[in-house]
Amino acid sequence: MTKVRRIRCVKAALDCGTAKLCAWTNVQREHWEGDLAVEGNLPAWLNGTYLRNGPGLWDVGEHSFHHIFDGYATLVRISFNQGRATGAHRLIQSEAYKAARTHGRPLHREFSSLCPRKPGSLLDRVRNIVGLSSGTALSDNANVSVLPLGDGRVICLTETTKSSVLIDPDTLDTIGKFHFTDRLWGLLQSTHPVVTPTEFLTLLPDLFRRGHRVVRMAAGSNERKVLGRVHCRGGLAPGWVHSFAVTENYIIVPEMPLRYSVTGVLKSELTPWYIFDWVPESGSYMHVVCRSTGKTVASVEVPPFMALHFINAYEQGDDDGGTGVIIADCCEYYADPAIIEALALHRLRSPGINKDAFPDAR
């Protein structure tokens, strides 16, 4: 068996000081491409491309972002071909990034700055509310997901619907906005939609009707259609849904007690959890939506939980041949929202400070 000991970037590509902290430092160039040095040998059968999307630039001019989720989107590509490895990265050319580069400071609100740290005057608060409710102040910084659609297109996105952009997986160029042709209003979406060869499934949170629309988009289409609606059972606002789970026949929509803080947004004030409230007494639920009818077939109350990512989901049949049990796997932090603040950059960049700061997960 051929062993690959290590793949490392050539010096020209990797200039970020201590290797273990590279993930939390700024990329040095807007675009880089070149060979990767390989220690050992790559198997001849290993051919293909790995794409990753995530924040890669947190400092613009004199401004430094606070949270890892604030950074400007940076695509990374590693390609393997007949024993050779090449790498590349490129910043996504979002309007938010281009404006920040031009003006030397951010002009759009990112994750930790949706509300000003200092609310300011009444007029400032009104401007903030208008900017957020209209979407003009929201960022299109697509710094989380990169997904191949069933028709060959590749899309990047984050939690604002305006962040959906198409990219070229070979050159990493930003092709342009992904324009939805439907008239579904909504400023927010799930960061991690589920894509199959035939469809694109996602959730659109409704902050005022306390729920989520479950929408479907067929491969090759730009039109989303509402499959169903989940009504949240607890609290005054819907729970934050960073990701959700899908089985062959069902969509599992989590409702955890980390809820959007509508009051905080309206008052232009950050909460201890940025734009969320942690309300364990409001209840926690798992909603099950039928993929064929769009109806909510079950809403199960569960103990309080804090989960960002669902990993897997599947059905177990009963003795009569029907679905008896649905198993959904997620990374859960023992009902502790401290994981949100543990991802602040000053913690990630200071291992001594952040030692044991991450809540336990199961």
Of the ranges 17-31, 134-148, 283-297, which one carries the lowest mean pLDDT score? 17-31
Which two tokens mark 316? 């177990």
What mean pLDDT, rounded, does the chain reach? 88
Query: Using one digit for the tens of pLDDT, what is the confidence trace for 100-110?
Result: 999 999 988 88
Question: CA-CA distance, 355 to 18, in Å (whole number)?
Answer: 17
The answer, yes or no, to whether residue 361 has pLDDT greater than 80, is yes
**Highest mean pLDDT of the ranges 215-219, 236-240, 318-322, 323-327:** 215-219
Query: Using one digit for the tens of pLDDT, what is the confidence trace for 9-34?
Result: 333 333 444 445 566 899 989 999 99
Dihedral pair phi/psi, residue 291, rounded to 5°: -70, -25
Higher pLDDT, 83 or 90: 90
The answer, yes or no, to whether residue 5 has pLDDT greater than 60, is no
pLDDT at 125: 76
pLDDT at 195: 95
Question: CA-CA distance, 167 to 177, in Å (whole number)?
Answer: 9
pLDDT at 95: 95
Q: SS3 of 125, please?
A: helix
Question: CA-CA distance, 306 to 331, in Å (whole number)?
Answer: 8
Which two tokens mark 227? 């499959």
Higher pLDDT, 309 or 136: 309
Residue pointed to by tokens 């400070």: 353
CA trace torsion 64, 345, 70, 213 (10° rounding): -160
Helix H or strand E segment including 341? helix 338-342
pTM of the model: 0.88
pLDDT at 272: 87
Question: CA-based Rg of the chain, rounded to a whole angstrom?
Answer: 21
pLDDT at 354: 58
Mean predicted confidence (pLDDT) in 217-236: 95
Query: Using one digit for the tens of pLDDT, what is the confidence trace for 143-170?
Result: 999 999 989 999 999 999 999 999 999 9
pLDDT at 356: 63
Dihedral pair phi/psi, residue 29, rounded to 5°: -135, 150
Mean predicted confidence (pLDDT) in 235-261: 94
Which segments of 261-306 are extended strands (E)? Answer: 276-278, 284-290, 296-302
Q: How far is CA 162 from CA 177, 277, 285, in A?
A: 8, 24, 29
Residues β-bridged to residue 277: 259
Mean predicted confidence (pLDDT) in 321-346: 89
Higher pLDDT, 183 or 319: 183
192 marked as part of a ligand binding site: yes
Q: How far is CA 229 from CA 197, 206, 225, 261, 327, in A?
A: 23, 10, 12, 21, 22
Which candidate, 157, 251, 236, places its Cα nearest to that of 199?
A: 251
Question: CA-CA distance, 15 to 9, in Å (whole number)?
Answer: 10
The answer, yes or no, to whether residue 91 has pLDDT greater than 80, is yes
Which segments of 98-256 are extended strands (E)? Answer: 145-148, 154-157, 165-167, 174-177, 194-195, 199-206, 211-218, 225-231, 245-246, 250-255
Mean predicted confidence (pLDDT) in 48-75: 95
Q: Is there a contact between 65 and 342 (Cβ–Cβ < 8 Å)? A: no
Which candidate, 197, 267, 279, 192, places its Cα nearest to that of 238?
A: 279
pLDDT at 355: 63
Residue pointed to by tokens 């028709």: 151
